[in-house]
Amino acid sequence: MRVFRYITLLLTFNAFGNDPLILSTQAQDDFFNQLTTLCGKAFSGKVTVDTANSKDFSDMKLVMHIRECNKSQVKIPFHVGDDSSRTWVITKTGSGLSLKHDHRHKDGSIDKLTMYGGHTLDAGWPNAQSFPADAPTQEMFTEQGIPQSNTNIWQIFLYPNTFSYRLIREGREFRVDFDLTNTIETPNAPWGHK
């Protein structure tokens, strides 16, 4: 596992040590650039598919806020009712795009299950990118006793009127769609962020 993290670090930083290598496909660049045009805006959403009928999301106000953007990273807090523990982090890694889930407790401390996610394996499309669970995520899920999540694939769809976040694996699908035609008031900072 240390070798994998070391290789990832080498891919992420160039010979000068600090500047991220921004190497990605045109489709990934187009996707990322479209996302940054929404920076600073918040949108309401609704669950459109949930095969597990999760009580955590039913009848809750769902808000995503494209809160922080720079040339290599976008942070998107996902508020579920009064729960502001989740932030999606999309990063240009030097070999594509990654999606990570930053989970915090109300006091700002880091949850034991955090920064899991995946990395693109192909070019994707300007309107859609897929992130199969990466090796550190699979290791974390196995250690936490949820190995069924090792085959997770997260997908983000970005169309003129809709942003969709989707999780799929065998026997499980979850999708929430956000209406991009109607901006709403931006929420407070997510837990653990200023």
Number of separate domains in the chain: 1
Q: What phi and psi values does residue 186 have, to the nearest 5 degrees? A: -70, 135
CA separation for the pair 90, 155 (Å, rounded): 12
Give the whole-number percent of the chain exceeding pLDDT 70: 88
Residue 78 lies in a domain: yes
Check if the beta carbon of residue 27 is closer than 8 Å to that of residue 126.
yes
Give the whole-number percent of the chain exceeding pLDDT 90: 82
CA separation for the pair 166, 156 (Å, rounded): 6
Would the pLDDT of 169 be above 50?
yes
pLDDT band, residue 22 (cuts 50/70/90): low
Q: Which of 159, 155, 165, 126 is nearest to 33 (CA)?
A: 126
Residue 39 lies in a domain: yes
Range of the structural domain that residue 71 is part of = 22-184
CA separation for the pair 43, 15 (Å, rounded): 40
CATH of the domain at 156: 2.40.128.20
pLDDT digits (tens, 9 = 90+) for 148-165: 999 999 999 999 999 999
Residue 118 lies in a domain: yes
Task: Summarize the confidence of residues 128-148 as an average pLDDT.
Answer: 97
pLDDT digits (tens, 9 = 90+) for 87-106: 999 999 999 999 999 999 99
